[in-house]
Amino acid sequence: MTIQHVGIIGAGTMGNGIAQACAVAGLPVTMVDISDAAVQKGVATIAGSLDRLIKKDKLTAADKEAALARIATSTDYAALGKADIVIEAATENPDLKIRILKQLEGVAKEGAIVASNTSSISITKLAAVLAKPERFIGMHFFNPVPLMALVEIIRGLQTSDETHARVEALARQLGKSPITVKNAPGFVVNRILVPMINEAFFVLAENLATPEEIDEGMKLGCNHPIGPLALADMIGLDVCLSVMNVYYEEFADSKYRPCPLLKEMVAAGYLGRKTGRGVYTY
Ligand SMILES: NC(=O)c1ccc[n+]([C@@H]2O[C@H](COP(=O)([O-])OP(=O)(O)OC[C@H]3O[C@@H](n4cnc5c(N)ncnc54)[C@H](O)[C@@H]3O)[C@@H](O)[C@H]2O)c1
């Protein structure tokens, strides 16, 4: 049973990126958000992103029109009733996600898969609120979705083999390269990435090198496309700190202690690019 129609909850950064990836791959999509304004903003972002791909000769104007024509939008969850899979990409808040999943159960088609794009909430815990937890799975896309090749597929303790196989096939249909991981705080990629960024703040706090030298070192010595401190500014220092706090609490292990300098900078409001100042000034 291949997936013929994808539902998406949330038209923000990730929701509209996932909608674009599906529509470009030829799949009809229904994207739902709480207001017309949010949905329209999502569609406008997709149109702008497709225009950039046309400029780079990766897409034709006809491809753009065909992709946009595959995207239906709504503010009513009932519109998700035709989807074979619904991917939840709403705001990162556990109580909100649980409310959304319960609301979705009332309208989803019989046998539909439900996936969450959460970065930090336990897939096993979210699955436990559903009547069919075996049909729930994590589908963690990376930002910007149209450009990033990875999808981390997270199996909760309850996820069935069939659910996993269908979601893995969908990721490949979108042109992505999936990896499958077990549920654990931060899953795999962020579990390694964010402590590395935190360590870069310790190195900075110890005055071992300047921010530029730390970033240059990791770019040239490890072949990373961007240094850890510049990346922290892109992600948001507040986001990095809250992820470290989750690891620190969930693993109850002092190796995940957030760097005091990171905490100080967040307290000062130096959150990175979004506030014009983080490690660097923008
Ligand atoms: N931004 C990233 O780099 C990134 C990367 C991977 C995963 N994620 C995860 O993706 C999810 C979405 O993040 P984002 O960055 O797109 O956030 P965002 O703030 O850009 O978008 C969230 C959207 O959800 C909508 N929303 C809120 N409540 C809703 C409801 N009840 N029903 C429908 N829509 C609702 C909001 O109106 C908003 O448009 C989060 O779980 C986040 O952890 C984010």
Interval between CA 42 and ligand 1 midpoint (Å): 11
pLDDT on residue 1:
74
Minimal CA–CA distance to 21: which of 126, 166, 177?
Answer: 177
Protein residue with its CA nearest to atom 21 in ligand 1: 12
Q: What is the mean pLDDT of residues 249-262?
A: 97
Nearest to 126 by CA among 94, 85, 86: 94
pLDDT at 2 over 90: no
Annotated binding residue 274: yes
- Is residue 224 part of the annotated active site? The answer reads no
Confidence of residue 98 (pLDDT cuts 50, 70, 90): very high
Percent of the chain with pLDDT over 90: 98
Tell me the H-state helices in the chain: 13-24, 36-55, 61-69, 94-105, 123-127, 161-173, 189-205, 211-222, 228-235, 237-251, 260-268
Among 9, 13, 118, residue to substitute to test ligand 1 (most atoms within 8 Å of Cβ): 13
Active site includes 105? Answer: no
* Nearest-angstrom CA–CA distance, 118 and 10: 12
Q: Where are the domains of the chain?
A: 6-182, 190-274
Q: Is 10 in the pocket of ligand 1 (CB under 6 A)?
A: yes
In tens, the pLDDT along 129-183 reads 999 999 999 999 999 999 999 999 999 999 999 999 999 999 999 999 999 999 9
Q: How much of the chain exceeds pLDDT 70, in percent?
A: 100
Which CATH class for the 190-274 domain? mainly alpha
Backbone angles phi, psi at 117, to 5 degrees: -95, 15
For the structural domain made of 6-182, what CATH number should be given? Answer: 3.40.50.720
| Whole-structure pTM value | 0.94
